[in-house]
Amino acid sequence: MSEQEDLLRLATIKAAIKSLGEEQDAIEARLVKSIQDKGRRSLTVQVEDGPRVRGTVVAGTRMVLHEDKLRQQLDAKQWEKVSTRVLDKEKLEAAVVQNIVDAQVVAAASEEFPNKPYIRVTGKVPQQQLGHVLFDGPMPKIVVAQSKRVRRPRAKVV
């Protein structure tokens, strides 16, 4: 292949990847909503003469520490111990462990945000079935569709 052909092929592949990424995002959002709306954590399908594929909703969180709020809550000596012009999170953690800074103060200056839920797919899809996705071939026949309900914690009897 010539450089020109390689460049055109690369541009085509990049456009296809972008398009597939957008389609993946839309499908994933629909699945997350559908699975969660039904009070489930996962969905499993069994393809005729093929693999079983499970999609599990993964929804984590991330912690954001608001430095300006924390700085207002700490005195100058405490702030100096946990920062170097900007907050040093390792120093802050050490200061909390050593009881130099109250963990409640840090908690009050922190906020937890949910991560965007996504689907973790387990199970292998045979290469010949990839053709359907990439080239709009016939869908494989689904034999069984299952789902897992969210388990609610049971009350302990004391």
Q: Would you say 27 and 134 are in contact if contact means Cβ atoms under 8 Å apart?
A: no
Q: What share of the chain is helix, strand, coil (3-state, %, to 5)?
A: 45, 25, 25
User: So what's the pLDDT on residue 5?
Assistant: 77
Q: What is the mean pLDDT of each run of 10 residues along the chain (158 residues)?
A: 76 81 92 94 86 90 91 91 86 94 93 86 58 52 57 52
Q: Are strands 83-84 and 110-114 parallel, antiparallel or unpaired?
A: unpaired
User: So what's the pLDDT on residue 158?
Assistant: 39
User: So what's the pLDDT on residue 110?
Assistant: 93
